[in-house]
Amino acid sequence: MAWLDTVVQGVLLGGLYALFATGLSLIFGVMRLVNLAHGDFSILAAFLAVVAVGASGLNPLLSLVVVAPLMAVLGYGLQWLVLDRLLGRGVLPAVLVTFGFSVIIQNGLLETFSADSRRLNPGGIETASLPLGGGLAVGWFPLLTFVVAVALLGGLQLLIGRTAIGRAFRATSDDGGTAALMGIDTRRVHGLAMALSLAIVAVAGIFLGIRTTFTFSSGPDRLLFAFEAVIIGGLGSLWGTLVGGVILGVAQTVGAKLSPGWGVLAGHLVFLAVLLLRPAGLFAPSRRVDT
């Protein structure tokens, strides 16, 4: 029973990882851009929530209403002013510039908020649990996180699959030059993709900050887990990302149960195993595997 509980926790944790992974995979899909500061942006959002909560006494979950749009605007602006210039110049500029962002954000957070670890307090929901019968109970909050993750993923899938802007995303991802010939402003599409990515990662960051403590340097690990979830699930598949996140989450919780220091490492090892055995990921659509 204890194992089942561990696995369930891992599954729910996977929902959070899928949230982190979605933003990363979205901009990679649309622009072939890997944002090395992805995790740091989520932590930035968490700290913004700290400020919002401190200033207004709002519940951190409600602070999302302010923080997510703010991060979206930031994403649009960064893409428009800086990142768009780097597309089409090869891999190096984008890697270096987003790495530079990562350094700037982390050290900016360090300067502003010191090295103290923080946590967002939603007033008790994070410790409440829901009994499922048979002696099994799940935390309300992890369950909520998972539900939110699935809802956001579903919403994104609908957006991309059924709307005009979704078609624009896909067309731009296929062939930016021809997309422009359709009347699509690809620069705006890139900006929107980045805005969406940062908004989603803001949600992820705040949920993370409620679930556990975080510091200025918590970003890079988020990036790694997001990356691993995307690769395990397979590039180009949103639901694959969810499964990838779940597999990673379960690997980590099971690993941690076996030996406390081995949780994260177990995740890395599962990731490496998938990479060696099935490099395209578990659910990759046959079309695109490579950058």
Partner 1 sequence: MKPLEIQRTTTASRVGAALAALLMAALVALPWVGDAGMMRMAVEFTALLVLAQMWNLLAGYAGLISIGQQAYVGLGGYALIVLADDLGVNPFVAVPLAGLVAAAFALPTATVVFRFRGGYFAVGTWAVAEVYRLLAANTDALGRGTGRTLKAVFPLARETRELGTYALALGVGLAALAAVYVYLRSRQGLGLMAVRDSEPASESLGVDVFRTKLLVYVMVAFGTGTTGALIYLNLLRISPDAAFSINWTAYTIFIVVIGGLGTLEGPIVGTVVFFLLRETLADHGAWYMILLGALAVVAMLRFPQGLWGLVAERWDIRFFPVQRRVRITK
Partner 2 sequence: MSLLAVRDLSARYGDFQALFGVSLEAAEGELVAVIGANGAGKSTLLRALAGAIPSSRGAVELGGRSVSGLPAETLVGLGMVLVPEGRKIFPSLTVEENLQVGAYRGRPGPWTLERVHALFPVLRERRAEPGTNLSGGEQQMLAIGRGLMANPRLLLVDEISLGLAPLVIRRLYEVLDAIRAEGTTLVVVEQDVSQVLAVAQRVYCLRKGAVSLEGVPAQLGRAQIAAAYFGT
Distance CA 179, CA 33 (A): 18
**Binding residue count for partner 2, defined by CB under 8 A:** 19
Using CB under 8 A as the binding rule, whether residue 268 contacts partner 2 is answered as no
Chain positions 150 to 209 lying near partner 1, rule: CB under 8 A, are none
Phi-psi domain of 281 (left: phi exceeds 0; alpha: psi -120 through 50; beta: other): left
Tokens encoding 123: 């007033």
Residues 19-58, mask of contacts with partner 2 (x by CB under 8 A)? ----------------------------------------
The one among 276, 277, 286, 287 contacting partner 1 by CB under 8 A: 276
The label of the residue with tokens 């930031």 reads 74
Tell me the window of 3-11, 71-79, 172-180, 237-245 that interacts with partner 2 (CB under 8 A). Answer: 172-180
Q: Do residues 197 and 190 touch, judged by C-beta distance below 8 A?
A: no
Tokens encoding 238: 């949103």
Residue 97 contact, options partner 1, partner 2, none, Cβ 5-8 Å cut-off depending on partner type:
partner 1
Q: Which is nearer to partner 2, 181 or 276 (CB)?
A: 181
Residues 20-49, mask of contacts with partner 1 (x by CB under 8 A)? --------x---xxx-x-------------
Residues 43-82, mask of contacts with partner 1 (x by CB under 8 A)? ---------------------------------------x
Using CB under 8 A as the binding rule, whether residue 258 contacts partner 1 is answered as no
Backbone angles phi, psi at 282, to 5 degrees: -80, -25
Burial class (CB in 10 A: 0-12, 13-18, 19+), 166: middle
Q: Which of 207, 162, 171 is nearest to 189 (CA)?
A: 171
Using CB under 8 A as the binding rule, whether residue 167 contacts partner 2 is answered as yes
Q: Which positions ≥6 away from 279 have C-beta within 8 Å?
A: 289
